[in-house]
Amino acid sequence: MSTLTLKGPYWVTVRQYRRALRVVAAGVLLSLAMMAWLRYWDGQTTGTNQDNGFTVLRIALDWASTAMITLPLLVGAFVAGPLVGREFESGTYKLALTQSVSPARWLGSKLLVAGAVTVGATVVLIGVYRLGWANFTDAWSFLWYEPGTYTATGPVVVAQALLALGLGALIGQLVRRTVTAMALTGLVTGLVLLVVSQFRWSLMPVKTITGPLTEGITTVLPASSRETGSGLITTTGERLPLQACWDRTEQWDVCPADMNIAGQYWDHHPSSHYWPIQLIETGIVLALAALALFAAFRVLRARHA
């Protein structure tokens, strides 16, 4: 039993933030209970004249999607930023360093406790979202590639939260002010994740479907595929914009002979690309998180050898 008991700086960290830990646990359990109830309600009203459960569950998923996108920013601003910044601003870290605790162990204990809670809570929230999403996997606003659904259903959001934790540990030491650390951590985390997301659909090569030229330039892609580009293709393989024939003939499916149009093409990511892209992006974000943590410990060592 004693081996399971937290000791030293770990016990101090848990004791210091016990109220926040209780709030996190209560929030996660409440989210789980509410989503389970909405799933049950939806099942009870499906096919009836008063299908209110479906509507409410859809609204709840919309909110949950937004919440999961902003979760890493909240972790950075309200967990990672104050976790270190407040200690330096108040000077309480000095007391810990006088208790035969090395600076690296002091910071490591805080990050380990915060990381364990963050990962555990985030994994449960992913399960909560998937519990409600199971009824909407084919809905146009909840397809696998939609930003909210993509973030909320896979491991990438866990990596994003850990990145926020690492950035908070670094920024908290650099600014040594609680409110400033909160603001900067949230801002920097958001900017880094925004940049990474811009390359998301370039992490894997797209698949291409070709077909005959049709009136109206209709698509032949499955509903679950994410289209990344489309247009006309010539007999030599050259790609042209969709409106290339329209600009010449004012008809979508009538092209001048000199253009040598062979048909249409569609570039897309099929749903089978979901997990490879998730895992690649997760690896990239985890590498950035490790880099932030490495920098945080380097700064700590330089200032408190």
- Whole-number pLDDT of residue 289: 96
- Whole-number pLDDT of residue 3: 41
Sheet holding 226-234, edge to edge: 207-211, 261-269, 226-234, 239-240
- Whole-number pLDDT of residue 147: 93
CA-CA distance, 242 to 215, in Å (whole number)? 11
User: Would you state the structure tokens that stand for residue 131, as one six-digit string?
Assistant: 């519990």
- 10 Å CB burial of residue 75 (0-12, 13-18, 19+) is buried
Q: Assess contact for 231 and 240: CB atoms under 8 A.
A: yes
**Residue 80: C-alpha distances to residues 14, 19, 39, 119 (Å):** 15, 16, 33, 13
- Whole-number pLDDT of residue 93: 64
- Whole-number pLDDT of residue 125: 96
Q: What is the pTM of this model?
A: 0.88
- Whole-number pLDDT of residue 45: 65
What are the average pLDDT values for consecutive 10-residue runs of the chain, which has 305 residues?
59 79 91 90 66 82 94 88 75 64 81 92 96 85 92 96 94 87 92 95 93 72 88 91 88 86 92 96 97 92 74
Phi and psi angles of residue 122, each rounded to the nearest 5 degrees, phi first = -65, -40
- Whole-number pLDDT of residue 96: 61
In 3-state terms, what secondary structure has residue 212?
A: coil
- Whole-number pLDDT of residue 1: 36
